[in-house]
Structure 1
Amino acid sequence: MSAPERIPPGAVTPAGGAVPEAYGGPGPSAVLDLLASGELTVRGRIREASNAVLHCAVERDGARAACVYKPVAGERPLWDFPDGNLARREVAAYEVSRATGWDLVPPTVLRDGPYGEGMVQLWIEADPGAALLALVEAEEPDPGWKAVGFADVGEGRTALLVHADDARLRRLAVLDAVLNNADRKGGHLLPTTSGKLYAIDHGVTFNAEDKLRTLLWGWAGEPLPEEALGVLERLSADLAPGGALAARLAELITAAETEAVRARVTRLLGERRHPEPGGDWPPIPWPPV
């Protein structure tokens, strides 16, 4: 495995823009196959990321796509997650997302690359005009928005942080509760011009301890939609010992963490409500974007 210092420095930015998402065939299986076995060419490094995030092209037999490659060698150690394990958590998040049928996480695989083993994920072009989060100078959100809380915006002023009352975001809030996502920031939300919503950056998920930190608290305490309850029922079956999802997660996270996923799904089904912030862990990530 390549040493971290040999990974391109953060000053490098993606060259030539995004590679077109022409992955040579319909359906997720064709995309996953390309990501897993195509030739990876590094185009640059995303400088804003805390860990090494490389913008790449992947190509095989004329099929070509843009993707993100996060090598394990470029992961910074965290006190509350095992070293060299974030890439597998990204893949595990994709597997759970895929099992829900919501497909909120872009196709993601674990494979070898130019800098060793890492996760490779399809590049998603976000619609810059789609507004899902906002800071407003008001005491209550406007219709169509949900309040998260007040934020300090400097000079002794505060503003109300709100997110859209959007069914896609609500699905993501449920998924994050299942994943125990410790870092759902605004910059991780990628709405597309086609109306699809994707979510990225799932390295700090699946901890056995409750660490849910998110900007999507607008539905906290509200009843879960019937659609979400149906999805959770299916997840519960898939996560049972011997279930397909349970077997896949066993390859990526620990047995204790897989059991914690089962427990979270069971709790959500029992309470039938969106979770509320607890007192043992900061409920909102910092920085929030």
Structure 2
Amino acid sequence: MTLPDPDVGSGELDLIAPIPTASNGTYLATIEGIPVVYKPVSGEQQLWDFPDGPLAHREMAAYLVSEALGWGVVPRTWLRDGPLGAGMVQLWREPDPEQDPVDLVSSDAVPDKGWRHVLTAQDSRHGTVVLIHEDSPALRRMAVFDVVVNNADRKGGHILAMPDGHRYGVDHGLTFHVQRKLRTVLWGWLGEELDDEEIAGVEHLRLSLGAGLGQALSGLLSAPEIVALDERCQGLLSEHRFPAPDGRMPATPWPLF
């Protein structure tokens, strides 16, 4: 499902229903019969640690960075007016309900291969549970993307597993802070070296920041936030490996899903 004609994205936006699991005002809507997610700025809750600019702008900036990396992590996203005012609109992607790229399993049910361990904890009945995620190129690229945009809220439910193996990431309002705020469930490659494709994607992003991407982001983020974005890219290209958590911040979001 695509929106090949940019004019389609500006067609009449019809609300279908609110999405009750979202913390901010989020709606399932359609544009000429095509399902989309609509997040009006008027439905955003003010956050003390993300006070600058609407979250919708950060969602749009995350999409532009995803496109510059060339990995298609974020579904097509744009800004426009709607029934509840200006906001972010994103193409709806229906995940495969049979796939769980991130899972919480008992300690005796951890798969032998194809999965990465993130953390071990006790459940309410004092049993041992393990947070795991799949060991796939698509999820590795998402983890690199999260480092670059400084994603403070990569929950398991923010990863959409598509039937063809592609993985989309959604809900990127808590991104691009100048301080390091990376909170994610994708810590399974901690300290490992980036591969050639991942390095090439970050290099291309840095080049794009010096061209049209930097100009586009200047209308969405503050100048210090864009500088911090470039510095995170430099850090990855200097170290060539997945970073460790910052000890001053929680390493994972809560809830995890």
TM over 0.5: yes
- 1:198 matched residue in structure 2: 168
Amino acid corresponding to residue 88 of structure 2 in structure 1: M
* Distance in 2, Cα, partners of 1:223 & 1:264: 16
Deviation at 1:33, TM superposition (A): 3.9
* Distance in 2, Cα, partners of 1:78 & 1:226: 37
* Distance in 1, Cα, partners of 2:232 & 2:52: 24
Checking the alignment, whether the CA contact within 8 Å between 1:141 and 1:147 is kept in structure 2 is no
After the TM superposition, which segments of 4 or more aligned residues of structure 1 sit over 4 Å from their partners? none
Task: Give the alignment partner of residue 27 of structure 2, picking from 44, 54, 63.
Answer: 54
- 1:10 matched residue in structure 2: none
Deviation at 1:84, TM superposition (A): 5.2
- Percent same amino acid among aligned pairs? 48
- 2:44 matched residue in structure 1: 75
Deviation at 1:83, TM superposition (A): 5.9
CA displacement, residues 211-230 of structure 1 (integer Å, 9 cap, x when unaligned) = 00000000011001111011
TM-score (normalised: structure 1) = 0.85
Corresponding position: 1:187 with 2:160: no
Deviation at 1:134, TM superposition (A): 2.0
Corresponding position: 1:257 with 2:219: no
TM-score (normalised: structure 2) = 0.96
Task: Give the alignment partner of residue 223 of structure 1, picking from 193, 204, 210.
Answer: 193
Corresponding position: 1:124 with 2:113: no
Corresponding position: 1:147 with 2:121: no
* Distance in 2, Cα, partners of 1:22 & 1:149: 37
CA displacement, residues 230-274 of structure 1 (integer Å, 9 cap, x when unaligned) = 11111111112xx11111111100000000000000000001000
Amino acid corresponding to residue 131 of structure 1 in structure 2: D
Q: How many residues align?
A: 256
Task: Give the alignment partner of residue 44 of structure 1, picking from 17, 39, 57.
Answer: 17
Deviation at 1:136, TM superposition (A): 2.9
Corresponding position: 1:286 with 2:228: no
Determine which structure has greater relative contact order: mean sequence separation of CA pairs < 8 Å that are 6+ residues apart, divided by chain length.
2
* Distance in 1, Cα, partners of 2:184 & 2:130: 15
- 1:86 matched residue in structure 2: 55
* Distance in 1, Cα, partners of 2:207 & 2:18: 40
Amino acid corresponding to residue 42 of structure 1 in structure 2: L
* Distance in 2, Cα, partners of 1:133 & 1:96: 23
* Distance in 1, Cα, partners of 2:82 & 2:207: 34
Deviation at 1:22, TM superposition (A): 6.4
Cα RMSD of the aligned pairs, angstroms, is 1.5
**Deviating more after overlay: 276-285 vs 133-142:** 133-142
Amino acid corresponding to residue 201 of structure 1 in structure 2: D
Task: Give the alignment partner of residue 236 of structure 1, picking from 188, 198, 206.
Answer: 206
Deviation at 1:71, TM superposition (A): 0.4
* Distance in 1, Cα, partners of 2:152 & 2:233: 17
Q: Which runs of 5+ in 2 are unaligned?
A: none
- 1:98 matched residue in structure 2: 67
* Distance in 2, Cα, partners of 1:174 & 1:234: 14
* Distance in 2, Cα, partners of 1:182 & 1:232: 19
Amino acid corresponding to residue 91 of structure 2 in structure 1: L
**Deviating more after overlay: 119-128 vs 148-157:** 148-157
* Distance in 1, Cα, partners of 2:155 & 2:186: 9
